[in-house]
């Protein structure tokens, strides 16, 4: 949906609308810009203490959340993840020759890190929750 302003020419375009499953009480809000070099695999599997809302500024990102098939997000597209217990498996640069840049807004539990890596033992115990991998 785009809402034009008759007075100024300003336009507001809704990119995505979500109702997160929860918001941390008295959440700290954080806006970050993330830049992933060409061909980089991004951050290892991790989780966030609250929901994350993002917008891809440039390039393409290979994105995978627990329980969902991996997909490519392209510049100009919005994405989100619920945070909490859900593992974020991939946020990799899908291009071997271009940077991937995006902005993310996160609701974080006060006093907790905004990103926590998930260990191999937990990945093994939760592998049944991961969507089937594409055949290589």
Cβ contacts of 74 within 8 Å, gap of 6 or more? 56, 60
pLDDT at 73: 98
**Tally of CB atoms within 10 A around 76:** 10
What is the predicted pLDDT for the residue at 99?
A: 98
Name which of 84, 97, 87, 36 is nearest 62 in CA terms: 36
Which portions of the chain are predicted below pLDDT 70? 1-6, 135-136
pTM over the 0.75 mark = yes
**Separation CA 112–CA 105 (nearest Å):** 16
What are the structural domains, with CATH classification, of the chain?
A: 26-129 (2.60.120.10)
């Amino acid at each position: 949906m785009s809402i034009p302003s008759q007075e100024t020419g300003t336009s507001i375009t809704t990119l995505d609308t979500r109702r997160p499953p929860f918001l941390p009480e008295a959440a700290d809000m954080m806006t970050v810009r993330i830049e992933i070099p060409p061909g980089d695999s991004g951050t290892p599997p991790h989780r966030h203490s609250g929901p994350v809302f993002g917008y891809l500024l440039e390039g393409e990102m290979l994105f995978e959340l627990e329980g969902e098939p991996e997909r490519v997000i392209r510049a100009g597209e919005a994405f989100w993840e619920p945070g909490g217990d859900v593992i974020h498996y991939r946020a990799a640069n899908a291009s071997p020759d271009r940077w991937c840049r995006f902005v993310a807004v996160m609701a974080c539990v006060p006093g907790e890190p905004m990103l926590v890596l998930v260990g191999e033992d937990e990945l093994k115990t939760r592998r049944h929750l991961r969507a089937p991998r594409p055949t290589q």
